[in-house]
Amino acid sequence: IGRQHREFDYFKLALQWPGTFCQRTRHCCSSNACCRGSNAPTEFTIHGLWPDYNDGTWPACCTKSNFDEKEISTLRSALEKYWPSLSCGSPSTCHGTKGLFWAHEWEKHGTCSFPVVQDEYSYFLTTLNVYFKYNVTKVLSEAGYVPSNTEKYPLGGIITAIQNAFHASPELACSKGSVQELYLCFYKDFKPRDCAVGSNIGLEMINSKSSCPKYVSLPAYVS
Ligand code: 5GP
Ligand code: 5GP
């Protein structure tokens, strides 16, 4: 798979913060994880594992390898818990049809991760394994950054906590001052690397590139 696109350079693990995402989608439908009341997720969950190029662009929709739910049946309960859909409605897949969030991520990004990941089952298993190994929620809570609807935390402190734990710089994206996504980056052998290209990039530059203000919140889920 992926042969007609240039091989990617590195992986970006995109995580999403349900407390922020669910502020806008919790009432939208019964199928989204935000609507699970007290069972709504309280940790960063997976958005996707994205192959990227060092120049800031990325390949997408690399082959016609249609998502097949049967291939991931043994991973299903883990995916429902750690890779739930927080949105309303179905995303379109690469070929115009509507499908599950998982189908969207596999077809758009997963099919471009050749030769490191070669099939749908491996894409989901690999992503879960990386997610379990680099537990961002745990690192942040040990540094005192716990879900709160009143506290604001310094963005630099959050970045430093991740750098200290994983020896690589993450990226963050915010919505209205709340953390919405957090990205961890990896070489093709899944050793952590900085997300920003060039390792000397200073905190100030990371801050200025991000949609996050200097102080951010990590809202708790409210039903
Ligand atoms: P947004 O504009 O919301 O940041 O991103 C929209 C979509 O573009 C994402 O869901 C993802 O599919 C793709 N995208 C955004 N940034 C990146 C990136 O850095 N790498 C890759 N591979 N895809 C991205
Ligand atoms: P990306 O931003 O990865 O290209 O696209 C994500 C697509 O999947 C969007 O069409 C979005 O509506 C849908 N989607 C379904 N569930 C989720 C979710 O939990 N988070 C995000 N970011 N998108 C989701």
Determine the residue type at 16: Q
CA–centroid distance, residue 97 to ligand 1 (Å): 19
CA–centroid distance, residue 139 to ligand 1 (Å): 24
Determine the residue type at 159: I
Instruction: State pLDDT tens for residues 14-42.
Output: 999 999 999 988 778 777 898 888 888 99
| Active-site residue, from 105, 107, 120, 181 | 105
Q: From 24, 81, 97, 104, give the residue whose CB has the most ligand 2 atoms within 8 Å, as the site to mutate.
A: 104
Q: Which ligand is nearest to the CA of 46?
A: 2
Instruction: State pLDDT tens for residues 108-130.
Output: 999 999 999 999 999 999 999 99
CA–centroid distance, residue 77 to ligand 1 (Å): 26
Q: Which two tokens stand for residue 122?
A: 């491996």
The neighbour count for residue 74, using CB atoms within 10 Å, is 10
| Active-site residue, from 5, 43, 107, 109 | 109
* Residue 47 designated active-site: yes
Say if residues 216 and 174 touch (Cβ distance below 8 Å).
Answer: yes
Say if residues 62 and 116 touch (Cβ distance below 8 Å).
Answer: no
CA–centroid distance, residue 125 to ligand 1 (Å): 21
Q: Which long-range contacts (CB under 8 A, 24 or more apart) does 27-33 make?
A: 28/87, 28/88, 28/89, 29/88, 29/89, 31/85, 32/84, 32/85, 32/86, 32/87, 32/88, 33/84, 33/85, 33/86
- 3-class SS at 154? strand
Per-domain boundaries in the chain: 10-216
Identify the residue whose tokens are 């997408």. 60
| Active-site residue, from 47, 120, 171, 181 | 47
Name the average pLDDT for the chain. Answer: 91
User: How many whole angstroms separate alpha carbon 223 and alpha carbon 33?
Assistant: 12
CATH superfamily for 10-216 is Ribonuclease T2-like (3.90.730.10)
Q: From 6, 16, 50, give the residue whose CB has the most ligand 1 atoms within 8 Å, as the site to mutate.
A: 50
User: How many whole angstroms separate alpha carbon 166 and alpha carbon 143?
Assistant: 13
Instruction: State pLDDT tens for residues 136-169.
Output: 999 999 999 999 999 999 999 999 999 999 999 9
* Residue 105 designated active-site: yes
Q: Tell me how far the alpha carbon of residue 59 is from its chain's centroid.
A: 17
Say if residues 194 and 185 touch (Cβ distance below 8 Å).
Answer: yes
Instruction: Find the length of the chain.
Output: 223
Residue 77 burial (CB < 10 Å; 0-12/13-18/19+)?
A: exposed
101 lines ligand 2 (CB under 6 A): yes
ipTM tops 0.90 = yes
pTM above 0.90, yes or no: yes
